[in-house]
């Protein structure tokens, strides 16, 4: 776990730079997706850096809190941000040599995201409005299917790589003995579906909606304003980045710097990572502009597909090591 | 060592008798719960010491009970672990009772039975022969039944008591038969003799089925769970906590004792029914918790879910053990035991919180509550910790044990038998589904009851409860956090129990750097509750500090926004039913055949519109109604026997005699 001192310092530096990187890149990814979507619709779209200006503006504003809100309402944005950020800090982005990667494995990362959702849903119910409850209720309904699907994906990955540690999984995926596997393909499709659902993207939810009855995530955070809303928005952006990093580090790990790699390897890792983010953002924008949003009660079928695929992949792995 | 425990039990029983005989004192409540608290603490301390010092088993035989058998008592690692849990739960309930018990209208319906109930559970765990075990098991059941019937004038409680006693009777009968088969034709009723005489495969199968039935009905395995959500909420809240948090663990103990200890080496398929039942129990329990609106009934159904999780881990452990993977069996067993501990902590906490809510508002319907976090900040905070812990959120304790269970499932591809290989991933999916549903269930419970705006005047005027109750809840909440951030210490403390039941134990976790836990190897999986806790707290504080310092810290209170249409009437909030509606709709077809009926009168009609939801517990329809109908039918036929002539009766007696003689003749 802990080698000599210089290795420790190096891993610590990687850990810290990774934490800052995800924090800094998260709004950019969201801005990029928005921009590409706008271009695809032949609009000019907001500037690439607009999410940063939005966050800064929100953070400077006075926070308006409903009279019926409890103390929990004011604490939850920071808690949700912390849980999401800690989870994102443990997913390898440009290098696997993270100092604290052993403190939480993939199951714990999923549970951390589940914790963030748990508290966000509570915040939706805190003010006591109908929209907040509606958002929380639907979000939890989606989660009841998305979370087991994620666990099944984790099972598949863990059975292939022999570990639930994300760094070990990534290193295994980098090694030549991975090969093409049916279970991996199924897991990838399932993970993409879950990522769309968890990040409130089309076809599950519309991040740009202003029609109250169609929204889920936005309904939940409707009562937030000012710095609280900034924290919530930032958490949502980090969560999107986290899922992209997760998919990238498991299914497209090239460029990922292994433990104790050189500085240049890490720099290459950063460049590769930014490239992967751009590709993922492009794909997301393309996908979102080409499908329509679903009715709420079609969504369980959609996420159910992910659950079934995940279960199938796990079963295949249980049947034989060849799949 | 059993002597000390027996003295404690005797003290509890004496307390009961004294209250029964001379129960008129003014400070009776204080005395009874105070004494029970002290005795339970001593017993819990003794059992914990035994567990931590890894004392060898010690036994004691007393010349009471059956003349040729006597009464055997024995405390080994397994019983001392469960003794610690039970007496800790007893101590917490007594502490809570010091405050909560004062609101009791008829204290004499509760006070005599409370120490007796504790004593009964203690003796079950110490019993080392079938007779003592069954006798104390029945004593425990009866004492809990008396407590369920404490408020017998309330509408549903009579039915709850009836179903409770019938199910307890059937369960005990199954256990009686199980021990009868174990004892064999030679009548080895002492557990020590049973251990040396492993039954034949067919007999072992019968014992496993019977003990799953007997212990499972007490623990609440589906479909034997129907009595539990009726009976547990009917008792006073601290007794509900004991029944849900602790008595179900006695049933788990009975299963472990028989399946892992008395029944000899397991066959490969033993894990299969346990896994199936456990997984079904976990999901069905939490689905019902999600649709009910009675605070205590939700908690009772969630107990069923947690029992399911425990049994899944036990089934895995049996499967591993039968295939010779002792280390994996130890991991699954440790996960089960860890969850036993965790569930006893957070379920007691949640029932105490429910009791506090009932004291403050007089209502158990979460649809009549709301906004309690502002009125009862401490209770609300402790309930929040309990809800987060039971929803398996890191870094609390519920996550640690579920994480271990998932790690055990990930080891199962190495199992040789195909049935188990295919079942475990399905069980894992069910476990994950149950965990996610539990999250939704407790968001709903806490969100409706403690957040939002008060829905009734009583909940708008609720006041915080007394200090004793708060101390009990606060202590349990702290323990939920501590067990979550120091899981390694808990796992190490469980090692002797795992070794006693599976012959192996997880390697010592205390030696791991940074207090992390790694069940198999660090490269495979590791988790560090303490670091996760520190990371979350420090980054939340850091973010709050930076935002407040560098950006804005101005705050203004204003009416709720609600997209411009805030409605002053609190009834427009999302209700418990509406929160559950999406989940009910998604899962209704396979779990509870929910039907919603909308009655919308046409314009001009002054009738109020209504929305009714109906659902059924399929186990009533599938398992119980047919049995009840068959019994009624048989009783109707047997009724004719009352109106025979004397000659017919005499010929019946003669026929019975001939039949018995024939049986005797053919036996030899």
Q: Which residues of B641-653 are buried (b: 16+ CB within 10 A; e: fewer)?
A: eeeeeeeeeeeee
pLDDT of B447 over the 90 cut: yes
Q: What is the dihedral of CA B115, B121, B122, B124, to 10 degrees?
A: 140
The residue-averaged pLDDT of B485-493 equals 93
Q: Which of A2, A111, A230 sits opposite B399 (nearest CB)?
A: A111
Q: Check if A316 contacts B (Cβ < 8 Å).
A: no
Four-residue CA torsion sign, A94, A96, A102, A108:
positive
Respond yes or no on whether the N-terminal peptide bond of residue B398 is cis (omega within 30° of 0): no
Write the pLDDT tens digit of every residue in A280-291: 999 999 999 999
B190: three-class secondary structure by DSSP: strand
Helices (H), B503-645: 529-550, 576-591, 618-619, 625-638
Q: How many domains does chain B have?
A: 2
Q: Check if A301 contacts B (Cβ < 8 Å).
A: no
Q: What are the residue ranges spanned by the domains of chain A? A: 5-319
Average pLDDT, chain B: 91
Interface with chain A: mutation pick from B454, B544, B572, highest number of A CBs within 10 Å: B544
* Least confident among A208-212, B42-46, B417-421, B580-584: A208-212
Contact call for residues A115 and A83 (beta carbons, < 8 A): yes
Are B429 and A115 a contacting pair at CB < 8 A?
no
Are B539 and A143 a contacting pair at CB < 8 A?
no
What percentage of chain A reaches a pLDDT higher than 70? 96
pLDDT band at A210 (very low <50, low <70, confident <90, very high): low
Q: Which residue has the tokens 């070990």?
A: A168
* Residue B73 domain flag: yes
* Residue B410 domain flag: no
Residue of chain A minimizing CA distance to B408: A155
For A207, residues 6+ apart whose C-beta sits below 8 A from its C-beta are A199, A200, A201, A217, A218
* Residue B446 domain flag: no
Min distance B322 CA to chain A CA atoms (Å) = 19
Min distance B184 CA to chain A CA atoms (Å) = 40
pLDDT of A62 over the 60 cut: yes
Write the pLDDT tens digit of every residue in B126-181: 999 999 999 999 999 999 999 999 988 888 889 899 999 999 999 999 999 999 99
What percentage of chain B reaches a pLDDT higher than 70? 99
Nearest to B311 by CA among B183, B220, B245: B220
| Separation between Cα atoms, residue B213 and residue B207, nearest integer Å | 10
Q: Which residues of A touch B518 (CB under 8 A)?
A: 102
Q: What is the pLDDT of residue A214?
A: 65
Q: Which residues of A touch B398 (CB under 8 A)?
A: none
Write the pLDDT tens digit of every residue in B168-187: 999 999 999 999 999 888 88
pLDDT band at B668 (very low <50, low <70, confident <90, very high): low
Last residue of a domain, one of B194, B218, B236: B194
Reading the block at residue B330, the tokens are 């130890």
Last residue of a domain, one of B194, B224, B243: B194
The helix or strand, by DSSP H or E, that contains position B611, with its residue range, turns out to be: strand B610-614
Q: Which residue has the tokens 């899944």?
A: B312
Nearest to B555 by CA among A61, A41, A320: A61
pLDDT band at A2 (very low <50, low <70, confident <90, very high): very low
pLDDT of B245 over the 70 cut: yes
B251-to-A317, B214, B221, B256, B558 alpha-carbon distances in Å: 35, 8, 10, 9, 53
Q: What is the pLDDT of residue B511?
A: 78
Reading the block at residue B505, the tokens are 């134990």
Q: What is the pLDDT of residue A1?
A: 43
Are A130 and B562 a contacting pair at CB < 8 A?
yes
Residue of chain B minimizing CA distance to A303: B586
Residue A66 has phi, psi (to 5 degrees) of -65, 150
The residue-averaged pLDDT of B324-336 equals 93
The residue-averaged pLDDT of B503-530 equals 83
The CA-CA-CA angle for residues A226, A229, A235, to 5°, reads 145
Q: What is the pLDDT of residue B667?
A: 80
Average pLDDT, chain A: 90
* Residue B284 domain flag: no
Residue B85 has phi, psi (to 5 degrees) of -65, -45
| Separation between Cα atoms, residue A36 and residue B340, nearest integer Å | 52
Are B421 and A319 a contacting pair at CB < 8 A?
yes
Q: Check if A171 contacts B (Cβ < 8 Å).
A: no
Q: What is the dihedral of CA B179, B181, B182, B186, to 10 degrees?
A: 110
| Separation between Cα atoms, residue B426 and residue B230, nearest integer Å | 30
Min distance A85 CA to chain B CA atoms (Å) = 8
Helix axes A130-161, A299-319, angle to 10 degrees: 20
Q: How many CB atoms lie within 10 A of CB A246?
A: 25
pLDDT of B449 over the 90 cut: yes
* Residue B643 domain flag: yes
Give the residue numbers spanning the domain of B71: 1-194
A67: three-class secondary structure by DSSP: coil
Q: What is the pLDDT of residue A212?
A: 59
- The ipTM estimated for the assembled molecules is 0.95
Q: What is the dihedral of CA B390, A310, B518, B256, to 10 degrees?
A: 60
Q: What is the pLDDT of residue A209?
A: 67
Nearest to B44 by CA among B345, B466, B474, B355: B345
Q: Check if A100 contacts B (Cβ < 8 Å).
A: yes
* Residue B609 domain flag: no
| Separation between Cα atoms, residue B113 and residue B150, nearest integer Å | 9
Write the pLDDT tens digit of every residue in A213-249: 667 888 899 899 999 999 999 999 999 999 999 999 9
Last residue of a domain, one of B194, B224, B250: B194
pLDDT of A146 over the 50 cut: yes
pLDDT band at B552 (very low <50, low <70, confident <90, very high): confident
Q: Which of A68, A86, A146 sits opposite B536 (nearest CB)?
A: A86
* Residue B45 domain flag: yes
Contact call for residues B352 and B238 (beta carbons, < 8 A): yes
- Specify burial of residue B141 (Cβ count, 10 A radius: 0-12, 13-18, 19+): buried
The residue-averaged pLDDT of A23-36 equals 95
Residue B555 has phi, psi (to 5 degrees) of -140, 135
Q: How many CB atoms lie within 10 A of CB A141?
A: 28
What is the interface size between A and B, counted as CB pairs within 8 Å?
302
Q: Which of A155, A163, A230 sits opposite B523 (nearest CB)?
A: A163
Q: Which of A74, A130, A155 sits opposite B574 (nearest CB)?
A: A130
- First CA to last CA distance, chain A: 31
């Amino acid at each position: 776990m802990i080698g000599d001192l210089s290795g420790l310092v190096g891993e610590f530096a990687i850990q810290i730079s990774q934490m800052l990187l995800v924090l800094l890149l998260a709004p950019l990814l969201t801005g990029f997706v928005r921009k590409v979507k706008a271009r695809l619709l032949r609009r000019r779209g907001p500037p690439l850096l607009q999410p940063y200006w939005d966050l800064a503006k929100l953070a400077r504003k006075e926070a308006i809190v409903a009279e019926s809100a409890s103390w929990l309402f004011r604490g939850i944005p920071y808690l949700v941000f912390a849980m999401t950020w800690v989870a994102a800090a443990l997913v390898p982005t440009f290098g696997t040599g993270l100092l604290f990667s052993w403190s939480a494995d993939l199951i714990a990362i999923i549970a951390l995201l589940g914790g963030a959702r748990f508290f966000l849903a509570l915040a939706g119910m805190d003010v006591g409005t109908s929209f907040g409850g509606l958002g929380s209720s639907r979000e939890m309904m989606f989660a009841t299917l998305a979370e087991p699907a994620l666990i099944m994906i984790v099972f598949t990955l863990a059975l292939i790589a022999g570990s639930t540690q994300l760094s070990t999984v990534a290193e295994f995926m980098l090694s030549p003995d991975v090969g093409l596997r049916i279970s991996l393909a199924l897991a990838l499709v399932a993970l993409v579906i879950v990522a769309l659902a968890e990040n409130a993207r089309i076809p599950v939810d519309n991040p740009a909606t202003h029609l109250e009855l169609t929204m889920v995530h936005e309904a939940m955070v409707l009562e937030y304003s000012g710095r609280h809303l900034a924290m919530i928005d930032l958490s949502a952006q980090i969560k999107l980045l986290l899922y992209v990093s997760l998919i990238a580090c498991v299914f497209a790990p090239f460029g990922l710097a292994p433990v104790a790699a050189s500085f240049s390897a890490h720099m290459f890792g950063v460049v590769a990572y930014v490239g992967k983010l751009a590709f993922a953002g492009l794909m997301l924008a393309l996908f979102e502009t080409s499908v329509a949003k679903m009715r709420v009660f079609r969504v369980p079928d959609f996420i159910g597909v992910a659950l079934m695929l995940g279960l199938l992949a796990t079963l295949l792995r249980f049947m034989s090591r060849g799949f | 060592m059993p002597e000390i425990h027996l003295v404690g039990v005797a003290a509890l029983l004496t307390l009961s008798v004294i209250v029964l005989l001379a129960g008129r004192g003014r400070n009776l409540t204080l005395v009874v719960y105070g004494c029970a608290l002290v005795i339970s603490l001593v017993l819990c301390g003794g059992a914990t010491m035994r567990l931590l010092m890894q004392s060898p088993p010690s036994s004691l035989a007393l010349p009471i009970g059956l003349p040729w058998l006597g009464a055997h008592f024995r405390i080994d690692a397994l019983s001392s672990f469960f003794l610690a849990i039970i007496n800790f739960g007893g101590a917490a309930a007594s502490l809570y009772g010091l405050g909560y018990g004062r609101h009791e209208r008829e204290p004499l319906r509760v006070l005599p039975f409370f120490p007796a109930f504790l004593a009964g559970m203690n003796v079950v765990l110490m019993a080392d022969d079938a007779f003592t075990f069954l006798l104390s098991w029945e004593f425990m059941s009866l004492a809990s039944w008396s407590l369920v019937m404490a408020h017998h004038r309330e509408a549903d409680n009579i039915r709850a008591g009836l179903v409770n006693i019938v199910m307890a009777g059937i369960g005990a009968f199954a256990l009686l038969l199980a021990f009868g088969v174990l004892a064999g034709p030679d009548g080895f009723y002492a557990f020590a003799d049973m251990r040396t005489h492993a039954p034949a495969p067919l007999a072992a199968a019968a014992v496993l089925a019977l003990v799953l039935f007997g212990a499972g009905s007490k623990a609440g395995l589906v479909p034997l769970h129907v009595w539990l959500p009726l009976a547990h909420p009917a008792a006073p809240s601290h007794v509900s906590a004991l029944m849900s948090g602790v008595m179900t663990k006695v049933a788990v103990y009975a299963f472990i004792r028989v399946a892992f200890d008395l029944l000899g080496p397991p066959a490969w398929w033993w894990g299969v029914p346990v896994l199936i039942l456990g997984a079904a129990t976990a999901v069905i329990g939490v689905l019902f918790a999600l649709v009910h609106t009675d605070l205590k009934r939700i908690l009772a159904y969630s107990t069923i879910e947690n029992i399911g999780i425990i049994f899944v881990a036990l089934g895995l452990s049996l499967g591993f053990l039968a295939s010779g993977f002792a280390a994996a069996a130890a991991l699954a067993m440790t996960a089960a035991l860890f969850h036993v501990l965790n569930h006893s902590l957070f379920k007691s906490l949640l029932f105490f919180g429910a009791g506090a809510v009932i004291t403050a508002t007089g209502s158990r319907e979460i649809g009549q509550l709301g906004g309690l976090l502002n009125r009862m900040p401490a209770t609300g905070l402790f309930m929040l910790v309990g809800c987060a812990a039971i929803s398996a959120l890191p870094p609390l304790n519920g996550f640690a044990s579920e994480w271990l269970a998932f790690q055990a499932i990930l080891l199962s591809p190495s199992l040789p038998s195909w049935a188990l290989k295919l079942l475990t991933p399905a069980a894992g999916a069910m476990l994950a589904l149950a965990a996610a549903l539990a999250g939704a269930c407790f968001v709903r419970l806490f969100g409706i009851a403690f957040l939002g705006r008060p829905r009734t005047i009583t909940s708008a005027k609720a006041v915080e409860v007394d200090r004793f109750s708060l101390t009990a809840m606060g202590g349990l909440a702290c323990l939920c956090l501590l067990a979550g951030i120091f899981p390694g210490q808990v796992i190490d403390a469980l090692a002797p129990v795992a070794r006693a039941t599976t012959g192996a134990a997880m390697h010592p976790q205390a030696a791991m750097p940074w207090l992390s836990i790694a069940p198999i190897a660090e490269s495979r999986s590791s988790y560090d509750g303490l670091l996760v806790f520190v990371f979350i707290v420090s980054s939340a504080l850091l973010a709050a500090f930076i935002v407040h310092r560098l950006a804005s810290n101005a705050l203004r209170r204003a009416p709720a926004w609600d997209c411009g249409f805030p409605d002053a009437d609190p009834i427009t909030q999302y209700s418990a039913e509406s929160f559950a509606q999406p989940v009910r709709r998604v899962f209704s077809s396979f779990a509870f055949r929910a039907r919603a009926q909308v009655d919308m009168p046409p314009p001009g009609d002054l009738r109020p519109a209504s929305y009714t939801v109906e659902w059924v517990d399929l186990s009533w329809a599938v398992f119980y109604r047919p049995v009840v109908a068959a019994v009624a039918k048989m009783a109707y036929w047997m009724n004719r026997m009352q109106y025979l002539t004397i000659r017919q009766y005499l010929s019946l007696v003669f026929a019975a005699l001939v039949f018995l003689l024939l049986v005797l003749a053919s036996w030899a």
